[in-house]
Structure 1
Amino acid sequence: MPGKRKGYDAACYYAGKCLGHCTKSDSEAYVLLMKSCGGDAARVLKEYAYFSPELKGILEKAALMQADRNRTAGLFTEPVTSPWGEVQSCETLCPGVFLVSTASHGGTMVADEAAAILSPAAKKCGFKDKGYLCYEEDAQESVVLRELLDKKLWHIPERIKDREKFEETINQSIRRYNPDYWRARQSGLEHAKVVRRQSPAKEAVR
């Protein structure tokens, strides 16, 4: 969990776990929005459009935890088949998100219940198959990796020595095969910067 940033005076919790630090107004909004949607974080993300970057990240983490609990008594089971054939190896990137390989190909499979953590632009890059949103390894998989890295739901493994090069390879793949997603991501990052710059002023007014 990232350390508390300057200007944050509250935090949000789910099931006794701290999901992230934020402003007091975000904390209050989290409680009210969750209450209005029956405690369903995925529903909050679906029905409401405007969040600070911090609150959005907190809600996405809560949605992932809830999805994990709702499937098979709290455990996402690894897929045994995929759109590319029988799964020979499977790595869990985060609950409900699996990196799979087969005899000939592979990709990333996101369980339907965990798809709330993905942005609308990311969802458009995948295709549905038997309860999963799937991303082919050559062209689409980088979209999922980029999303998980941005949201701090996955970290580049220790076995990868040159992490900067690995991350740039992800970005290059997205720019080549999924330019619409890349533009949406960059636009979102710019919007987040604007929101962060405006937040101190809004807090001062309150």
Structure 2
Amino acid sequence: MTERATDLDPGLAEAGAVLAAEAARFASLGWMRGTSGNLSMVTSRDPLRLAVTASGMDKGELTESDVVLVDAAGNAVSGGRPSAEAALHARVARLTGADAVVHVHTIASVAVAERCPEGVVLRGLEMLKGIGRPTHAEEVILPVIANSQDMTVLGDRLEAAHDPRVPAVVVAGHGLYVWGADPRQARHHTEVVEWMLELELARR
């Protein structure tokens, strides 16, 4: 019988509580419908370990126990069954140095990706400051990558498209991956990127 993650590590329970609260917020916005989406936060860098929300659970009803500790390959170290996308979370953490990753399924991200398969041009928006750009006048491209059920393939696509100025990527037909220095910053980045995607959708 698999032990609950929080029975093994009180620190993981603390991470689980943070992720449960963040998931409830995203679920309330309709960005994690059903059991979709997943969140993670880094608990150790050497070796790399991430707390990831457990697979197949309603993200609006998570508790501190509904979290899995995974390694740099996305394999469970303790707890239950992680999302298949845990490996991509770990890849993002390694690639970007981020300590928190958000994956949500928003209508705007999927719709805009269909219209902008080469990437979403963002310019002239004050909200660009919300993802760390110094001025509204700057222009960046939010990458759009093709989906894959193979997390190695998807991770390779994300790495090839990654722009260090943009803490996010859209996976076509799937949703949005966003990251930050901690869960709060990752949440803010997610809200800002989604706002810009909704604006782009409204314009079209």
The answer to whether the superposition gives a TM-score over 0.5 is no
> Larger relative CO (CA 8 A, sep 6+): 1 or 2?
2
Which TM-score bucket, shorter chain as reference? under 0.3
- With normalisation by structure 1, the TM-score equals 0.28
Higher share of residues assigned helix: 1
Structure with higher Rg: it is 1
